[in-house]
Amino acid sequence: MRDVMTDVKVWLEQGDPVAVATVISTWGSAPRPAGSRMAISQSGKIAGSVSGGCLEGEVFEQAQAILHGKPASLFHYGVSDDLAWTVGLSCGGEIDVLVEPLGQVHRDLMDALAAEHPVVLKTDVGERPGARQLLTPADPTVPDLLNRENPVRQDGVFLEPFPRPPELLIFGGSHVAIPLARMASAIGFRVTVVDARSKFADRERFPEARRVIHAWPDEVLKDLPMDGSSYVVILTHDPKFDDPTIIAALRGQPRYIGAIGSKKTHRDRVARLVKAGVNPSEIDRVHAPIGLDLGAQTAEETALAILAQMVAVRHGKQGGPMPGPAAAA
């Protein structure tokens, strides 16, 4: 919903009714994942996508019918349908798309997203499909969904998590931190840079960051949220900064902790942390040497390797080549 809500709010302010199409399930080579959204206004405006282009025309027509009184409906498209070649899913993909009028629950969802409050949208996909309720972290099923981030369809219900936006906490305003802050901001991370050294905690070095804080890293971590939306990157390369920051980060539950340094540097770091009383199994949560092995040589390439690893961890992947075609028999 995040990627369409700016347009939707404008349309609503203009008195232009809106329908919302949501990918509920996919099979095979469907082009967009569950949770992808497309918004359609009664005047014909479109935002977002449910298929990367191949289904949009068909979904647009269904949305217009629903905006003119047809009930919300769950549509299935796939190779077995007469529509397969027309909508471009003849490659083997199948997709369920819910099309419904935008209602109060969607408005409440947009308010929650604007306030960066984590919620889960509960949608009925049974006989009377449609968005029904926002669940908050007080619901016992919600924290696990928010941490996994991926939607779940079960027992006639579609549960769609909307965690707070991912927050990247960079400790150490080094030359690698500059492109990392820029790249991470470009893909939606809220970036905070922290350094106890005033010449590195310089706002002009990090124009894309939301915050640049001149303070000791471990002190700052006491007041920052450390949950599944938090990503901690330690670039100071100095034990007097690194070690207290890692210890403070391990007290929380950030999705990702990474620390720069060679294998030898990390072995020495582990020895110091164990001596300081940190459980070795906890230290295993730290990605070090940091980043995926891309053969990075420059600051920009190193930043890319770090960001790639963060994205892989976010989606439960190790990082590596895409699955290739099936071997010939």
Number of domains making up the chain: 2
Residue 278 lies in a domain: yes
Choice between 319 and 18, residue whose per-residue pLDDT is larger: 18
pLDDT category of residue 210 using cuts at 50, 70 and 90: very high
Residue 325 lies in a domain: no
Choice between 84 and 271, residue whose per-residue pLDDT is larger: 271
Which H helix or E strand runs over 104? helix 104-114
Residue-level pLDDT at 296: 95
CA–CA gap between residue 194 and residue 222 (Å, rounded)? 13
Q: How many CB atoms lie within 10 A of CB 127?
A: 7
The answer on 276 and 135 residing in a single domain is: no
Given 145, 162, 179, which residue is the final one in a domain?
162
CA–CA gap between residue 207 and residue 119 (Å, rounded)? 30
Cα 80 to Cα 212, 277, 279, distances in angstroms: 55, 61, 55
Its pTM stands at 0.81
The answer on 254 and 132 residing in a single domain is: no
Among residues 159, 170, 81, the alpha carbon closest in space to that of 122 is found at: 159
The answer on 76 and 13 residing in a single domain is: yes
Given 142, 162, 182, which residue is the final one in a domain?
162
Given 144, 162, 180, which residue is the final one in a domain?
162
Choice between 32 and 188, residue whose per-residue pLDDT is larger: 188
Residue 327 lies in a domain: no
Cα 153 to Cα 32, 73, 229, distances in angstroms: 16, 16, 22
Q: Is the pLDDT of residue 328 over 50?
A: no
The answer on 181 and 34 residing in a single domain is: no
Domain that includes residue 263, residue range = 167-314
pLDDT category of residue 237 using cuts at 50, 70 and 90: confident
Peptide bond into 289 cis (omega under 30): yes
| Residue indicated by tokens 């640049």 | 212
Do residues 97 and 22 make contact, with C-beta atoms less than 8 angstroms apart? yes
The answer on 103 and 9 residing in a single domain is: yes
Q: Is the pLDDT of residue 71 over 60?
A: yes
The answer on 275 and 142 residing in a single domain is: no
Cα 78 to Cα 136, 192, 204, distances in angstroms: 34, 44, 52
The answer on 171 and 62 residing in a single domain is: no
pLDDT category of residue 315 using cuts at 50, 70 and 90: confident
Determine the residue type at 132.
R
| Close Cβ partners of 103 (under 8 Å, ≥ 6 residues apart) | 130, 131
Rg (CA), the chain: 23
The answer on 134 and 30 residing in a single domain is: yes
* H helices present in 115-222, as ranges: 142-148, 177-186, 217-221
Residue-level pLDDT at 324: 60
Residue-level pLDDT at 325: 54
Longest dimension (CA), the chain: 69
Residue-level pLDDT at 227: 87
| Close Cβ partners of 302 (under 8 Å, ≥ 6 residues apart) | 176, 291, 296
The answer on 87 and 182 residing in a single domain is: no
**In 3-state terms, what secondary structure has residue 12?**
helix
pLDDT category of residue 29 using cuts at 50, 70 and 90: low
The answer on 226 and 153 residing in a single domain is: no
